[in-house]
A = this chain, B = another copy of it.
């Protein structure tokens, strides 16, 4: 099924540099995006919970990526006006739909890591076709 982009009337095509799908792919394909969306699949999490769960992320990148995901309509941000403040992040319906492919990518990586490490160590010479 081919989708037509409503705003432009052109077909959706990530191979086209000008197609808005390309920019969305850039967002989705970020490493922090994968880890955040996958984290929220099991339920909402607070800012600090995300921060601790995703090792190596800086506050800046976590906040930045969350804002981006919010703007794209993947993530909800709920502020509880308590003191101290409590902010819950969760997935929208659209976000849950995205979480399928995203989690598949994480699972694939964890499942095939040994194949990959083996390929890296057993670096073969260039294959040369015999004419």
Contacts and interface: CB of A to CB of B under 8 A. Distances in A.
Contacts of A117: 5-7, 20
B97 A128 contact: no
B127 A78 contact: yes
A120 B73 CA distance: 7
A62 interface: no
B78 A116 contact: no
Copies in the complex: 2
A79 B110 contact: no
Interface size class of A (residues with CB under 8 A): 35 or more
Contact of A81 (B35, B119, B131): B131
A112 interface: yes
A14 interface: yes
Contact of A116 (B17, B24, B82): B24
B26 A119 contact: no
Interface of A: 1, 3, 5-7, 12-18, 20-22, 24-26, 28-31, 33-35, 39, 53-56, 71-73, 76-82, 92, 94, 97-98, 100-102, 104-106, 108-120, 123, 126-129, 131
8 A-B pairs closest in CB distance: A73-B119, A17-B56, A17-B55, A12-B110, A101-B104, A101-B105, A29-B31, A80-B129
